[in-house]
Amino acid sequence: MTQRNLTFARRPLFAAYAAAAALALGACGSDSSDNGDSQADGGATSAGFDAAVPAGDQQKGGALKLLSSESFAHLDPGAAYFQLDYMVMFATHRSLYYFKPDDPKTAVPDLAEAAPQIAADNKTVTVKLKKGIKYGTNDTSSPVNGQEVKAADVKYAFERGFKPSVANGYLATYFKSIVGADKAKGGDVAGITTPDDYTIEFKLAEPFGATLAKALVMPITMPVPKSYASKFDAKQPNEYDSDPDKQAFSGPYMIKSSSPGKSLTLVRNPNWDEATDERPAYLDTIEWTLGTDPNVAGRQIMSGTGIVNGDTPAASTIKQFATAAKDRISFTPLGNRFVNINTQKKPFSDLNVRKAFAAALDRKAMQLTRGGTLTGDIATHLLPPTLAGHEEAGGADGTGADYLANPSGDMAVAQSYLKKAGFADGKYDGPAIRMLGDNSSPAKESAAVVRRALESLGMKVNLTSVEHSAFYTKFCNVVDQLKKIDVCANYGWLPDFADPYAMLNANFNGEAIVPVNNSNASLFDNEKVNADMNAAAQITDEAERAKAWGAIDRALVEQVAAVPWFWDKTPNVRSKDVHGVIAQWNAAWDLSYMSLEK
């Protein structure tokens, strides 16, 4: 998940398009809370070609262009863990389950035939596969070209994820309960079996079947034929990843050519059978240009034809579209942002000091640093509106905690908590606070607001500003470093799939703390919360599950495990002749659903 959160934060809400008629932008000076509300569902429902699965008026054919400044991290279904990678992977491969673009909460079968069967003891998950799905390759003489997808290919896709040459980033998070997964190094995993060619069975050591079943939307479930791929996987670096045009593709498109850092071309997969797939796949070709200046890309999308953004548009582009072309920009809610505070080190080991900081933080100013009300709502707790449990934890109004009541901060409340913590005059007078911040805009500005809040409590702040990736990989995801850090200012999280587990467990379960690649940057370890999370992960009933996670969210706010401040919305922009469709679960364009006007 590291890669995925990295990304997320790296691309401030990247973005996208459409439907922003619902944005309430038109009314100048409209109340910002109005704005927020209308957007909460505005991203999903809008006129025309919006994220709803397109009606029949769309036409086949045409070439779509995407422009991005960022490059892909991995174009291998086993290693991909990044928004941009996902856009390509989900167009070229088929996972067991996937989310239709307009519904980020309900997974539907793709490679699978029907919903997963979870055994009563929550320890076995069985998935039946569709028949007649075939691979396509660029090299038509390849033995795997035209070969049918079998359950063994999905099993191998999991197993290769444990190899160092693939090094999947989330297997250990969501699939560690599979029997044998804890010791897997790339060989056979005993807990994954294929009773026949079209059945795959996951046997779990612990009763986490419900959570595992939800994770079957991850790209690790995309089939990889062992006979074909094992020779690539044996090498380091892995050619299946570095030469993606050599892959065996099961999706509607194939990677025809890839030039790292420069371009990527997708063409139709001749062996893809639309009878087996609900995706319309209107486009003939997709050309992706990397390394484009965001401002230049914005202008090209605005005036050109057949172009959409591949990553976060520049602030000026967002402003331009939102004022002059409202129907060509949309904001898709996904993910959240919070300030991590070290709950194991003085002074923030004291709950009252944490509450004082939460009260002092001007979340309204934080929102403005990220682009105002358009790009997200001020958070009142941790679970964003897109996830189950959000309403149960208090919805937009929050849990009622006085230290999060005023979005602009409340110094009187802050001082009262400091007094409770033993600072008689309401001013902190202990040693300086060490804070880690991201040195690039807009995270840099957010960090400046955090610093200001700390200083308003009387704290002297030693700020270390580092590059975005170093913020995570060198500091805030490394326990030895975290022990010396009081505040990680720029933490953002994109849930891997629509379940509160994917949002809260890795970040706040004390049992999830690991020496490196640690996502619990608050080092928050509360026995009761840990136990509640472990229990909630096993609940299969959706309503019960939402209730349980909502209660956990409340407990985390009560404990101030972190200070939530933002529920992100990702902007996306398009040229006027593009029927844009946003995959809400990824907050990015869904290439298999988009089309061009003729």
Partner 1 sequence: MPSAELAPGDGAATAPITARSPLELFWRRLRTDKVALTALMFIGLLVLIAVLAPLIVKLVGAPAPDVQSSAALDPTFGSPTGPSSEHLFGVDKLGQDVFSRVVYGTRVSLQVAILSTGSAVIAGVLVGMFAGYYGGWVDTLLSRALDVLLAFPILLLGIGLASACSLGNGCAGGLIQPGLTVVVVVIAIATFPYIARIIRGQVLSLREKEFVEAARSLGASDRRIIFRQILPNLVAPIIVYSTLVLPQNILFEAALSFLGVGVQAPTASWGQMIADATEIFDTAWWFMVFPGVALVLTVLAFNLVGDGLQDALNPKRGR
- Measured in whole angstroms, the distance separating CA 101 from the mean position of its chain's CA atoms is 15
Supply the minimum distance, in Å, between the C-beta of residue 473 and partner 1: 15
373 part of the interface to partner 1, by CB under 8 A: yes
458 part of the interface to partner 1, by CB under 8 A: no
Supply the minimum distance, in Å, between the C-beta of residue 235 and partner 1: 37
CA dist., res. 452 & res. 163, Å (int): 45
For residues 187 and 431, which CB has a smaller minimum distance to partner 1 in the complex?
A: 431
568 part of the interface to partner 1, by CB under 8 A: no
Question: Left (φ > 0), alpha (ψ -120 to 50) or beta: where does 130 sit?
Answer: beta
Terminal alpha carbon distance of the chain:
40
Helix axes 443-456, 351-360, angle to 10 degrees: 120
Binding mask 288-307 for partner 1 (x = CB under 8 A): -------x------------
From 40-48, 223-231, 318-326, 562-570, give the range in contact with partner 1 by CB under 8 A.
318-326
Supply the minimum distance, in Å, between the C-beta of residue 574 and partner 1: 19
CA dist., res. 115 & res. 24, Å (int): 38
Size of the site for partner 1 (CB under 8 A): 34
Residue with tokens 């009187």: 412
CA dist., res. 513 & res. 521, Å (int): 9
Binding mask 105-144 for partner 1 (x = CB under 8 A): ----------------------------------------
CA dist., res. 327 & res. 96, Å (int): 34
Supply the minimum distance, in Å, between the C-beta of residue 375 and partner 1: 8
How would you classify the pairing of strands 487-493 and 433-438?
Answer: parallel
Supply the minimum distance, in Å, between the C-beta of residue 116 and partner 1: 43
Read off the tokens for 474: 């060198």
Supply the minimum distance, in Å, between the C-beta of residue 348 and partner 1: 20
Read off the tokens for 166: 């693939």
From 48-56, 316-324, 386-394, 488-496, give the range in contact with partner 1 by CB under 8 A.
316-324
For residues 4 and 569, which CB has a smaller minimum distance to partner 1 in the complex?
A: 569
CA dist., res. 107 & res. 98, Å (int): 5
CA dist., res. 93 & res. 240, Å (int): 13
Report the site for partner 1 in 394-433 (rule: CB under 8 A): 408
Supply the minimum distance, in Å, between the C-beta of residue 368 and partner 1: 4
Report the site for partner 1 in 183-222 (rule: CB under 8 A): none
Residue from 451, 468, 545, 579 touching partner 1 (CB under 8 A): that is 451
CA dist., res. 222 & res. 219, Å (int): 5
For residues 318 and 414, which CB has a smaller minimum distance to partner 1 in the complex?
A: 318
Residue from 128, 370, 545, 554 touching partner 1 (CB under 8 A): that is 370
Residue 63, helix vs strand vs coil:
strand
From 166-174, 310-318, 555-563, 590-598, give the range in contact with partner 1 by CB under 8 A.
310-318
Residue from 140, 190, 464, 541 touching partner 1 (CB under 8 A): that is 464
Cis peptide before 237 (omega within 30 of 0): yes
555 part of the interface to partner 1, by CB under 8 A: no
From 85-93, 183-191, 353-361, 443-451, give the range in contact with partner 1 by CB under 8 A.
443-451
325 part of the interface to partner 1, by CB under 8 A: no
- The closest alpha carbon to 267, from 447, 454, 61, 462, belongs to 61
CA dist., res. 483 & res. 475, Å (int): 10
Supply the minimum distance, in Å, between the C-beta of residue 573 and partner 1: 14
CA dist., res. 112 & res. 131, Å (int): 9
570 part of the interface to partner 1, by CB under 8 A: no
Helix runs in 474-541, H state only: 479-482, 500-508, 527-536
For residues 117 and 303, which CB has a smaller minimum distance to partner 1 in the complex?
A: 303
From 59-67, 110-118, 352-360, 462-470, give the range in contact with partner 1 by CB under 8 A.
462-470
Supply the minimum distance, in Å, between the C-beta of residue 49 and partner 1: 24
349 part of the interface to partner 1, by CB under 8 A: no
439 part of the interface to partner 1, by CB under 8 A: yes
Provide the edge-to-edge strand list for the sheet that holds 124-128. Answer: 117-118, 124-128, 199-203, 192-196
Read off the tokens for 112: 């699978």
316 part of the interface to partner 1, by CB under 8 A: yes
Residue from 59, 227, 236, 441 touching partner 1 (CB under 8 A): that is 441
345 part of the interface to partner 1, by CB under 8 A: no
Supply the minimum distance, in Å, between the C-beta of residue 319 and partner 1: 5
Residue from 111, 216, 255, 322 touching partner 1 (CB under 8 A): that is 322
From 71-79, 228-236, 421-429, 445-453, give the range in contact with partner 1 by CB under 8 A.
445-453
CB-count burial class (<10 Å; 0-12, 13-18, 19+) for 544 = exposed
Task: Identify the bridge partners of residue 340 per DSSP, sorted by sequence position.
Answer: 488, 562
CA dist., res. 516 & res. 476, Å (int): 9
For residues 368 and 479, which CB has a smaller minimum distance to partner 1 in the complex?
A: 368
Question: Left (φ > 0), alpha (ψ -120 to 50) or beta: where does 537 sit?
Answer: alpha
CA dist., res. 307 & res. 580, Å (int): 10
Residue 555, helix vs strand vs coil:
helix
Residue from 372, 406, 514, 525 touching partner 1 (CB under 8 A): that is 372
CA dist., res. 138 & res. 271, Å (int): 11
CA dist., res. 200 & res. 186, Å (int): 18
Task: Identify the bridge partners of residue 465 per DSSP, sorted by sequence position.
Answer: 437
For residues 52 and 449, which CB has a smaller minimum distance to partner 1 in the complex?
A: 449
For residues 130 and 452, which CB has a smaller minimum distance to partner 1 in the complex?
A: 452
Supply the minimum distance, in Å, between the C-beta of residue 168 and partner 1: 32
Residue from 448, 479, 514, 551 touching partner 1 (CB under 8 A): that is 448
Task: Identify the bridge partners of residue 35 per DSSP, sorted by sequence position.
Answer: none
45 part of the interface to partner 1, by CB under 8 A: no
Residues in contact with partner 1 by CB under 8 A are: 25, 32, 35, 295, 315-316, 318-319, 322, 362, 364-365, 367-375, 408, 439, 441-442, 445, 448-449, 451-452, 463-466
